Amino acid sequence: MIIGNKLYYFDTISSTNDYAKTLLYEAPEGTVVLADEQTDARGRHGTSWYSPPGGLWMSVLLQPEKTTLLSIAAGVAVCSSLHTFGITPGLKWPNDIIMNRKKIGGILTEIVDNNVIVGIGVNLNIRSFPQDLRDIASSVFLQTKKHLDKKMVFDLVCREFDEYYGMLKQNQDRDILSKWRDYTVLLGQQVTIQAGDATVAGKVLDIGLNGALIVMRSDGQIEHVSTGVCHLH
């Protein structure tokens, strides 16, 4: 197992992804940065990420040969770890972890040369969110009234992610995608995906081998969407 072979732990840090960047070229592959609280955490597409104590905030340093399905693999690993604890979130493309349509976790993957920092955020035991997030964000605690042991979830996420990372290395991409299909809430659903100025609206058919979402527009045209923010109707 390489993920978690070296651990940097902080009570408070600006962002575990940013700290992981300072370790590039010196820390071994699999190094994890973990923090109880982040003061300047980031989400995808330049958003900020609310990170009070109670959440699982971690970043993993990797040097993969290919990055195509890495974020998908991380999302699947988180989902599968939570399922082990009897929590049953779903995945929204590409790798948002959701419960009752609200986001309880996400993955921010950043690439620097041939290093990849996979940032994982899971709203575990958070009891309230600022007003502006209440409609879109939630936590495992708010959804289930269960308080999970963060250390146990952390250990399992490392283990699961290590396993999926191993599968990526063995080119078992189809197995990872089939797990994603098991967890996703999107198959057969109507979505709108926004990527910059472009919008694709239609029914989700599948996910492609490269991680693109396969969507059929109302005129029957099939689109392979490789980036963007997905809204479930």
The site for ligand BTN (CB under 6 A) is made up of 15-17, 38, 41-44, 47, 49, 51, 57-59, 96, 106-108, 119-121
> Does residue 66 contact residue 168 with C-beta atoms inside 8 Å?
yes
Minimal distance in Å, beta carbon 116 to ligand BTN?
13
* Nearer residue to ligand BTN within complex by CB, 47 or 199: 47
Q: Report how far apart, in Å, the C-alpha atoms of 109 and of each of 43, 44, 59, 61, 115 are.
A: 9, 8, 9, 10, 10
Least Å distance, CB 26 to ligand BTN, is 19
Query: Edge-to-edge, what's the strand order for the sheet holding 222-225?
Result: 222-225, 213-216, 198-207, 190-195, 229-232
Our CB check for ligand BTN shows the closer of 75 and 202 to be: 75
Q: Which is nearer to ligand BTN, 60 or 177 (CB)?
A: 60
**CB atoms inside a 10 Å sphere around CB 46:** 6
Shorter beta-carbon distance to ligand BTN: residue 51 or 81: 51
Phi, psi of 155 (to 5 degrees): -60, -40
Least separation, in Å, of the C-beta of 222 and ligand BTN?
26
Instruction: Rank residues 96 and 162 by Cβ distance to ligand BTN and give the closer one.
Output: 96
Nearer to ligand BTN, 106 or 202 (CB): 106
Q: Which residue is nearest to ligand BTN (CB)?
A: 106
d(CA 155, CA 3): 10
Least CB distance to ligand BTN at residue 25 (A): 20
- Encoding tokens for residue 103? 């986001």
Q: In the bound complex, what is the minimum distance in angstroms from residue 59's beta carbon to ligand BTN?
A: 5
Residue 119 CB, shortest distance to ligand BTN, in Å, is: 3
Amino acid sitting at position 66: K
141 torsion bin: left (phi>0), alpha (psi -120 to 50), beta (else)? alpha
Residue 181 in tokens:
């299909």
Cα gap 81→99, rounded to integer Å = 15
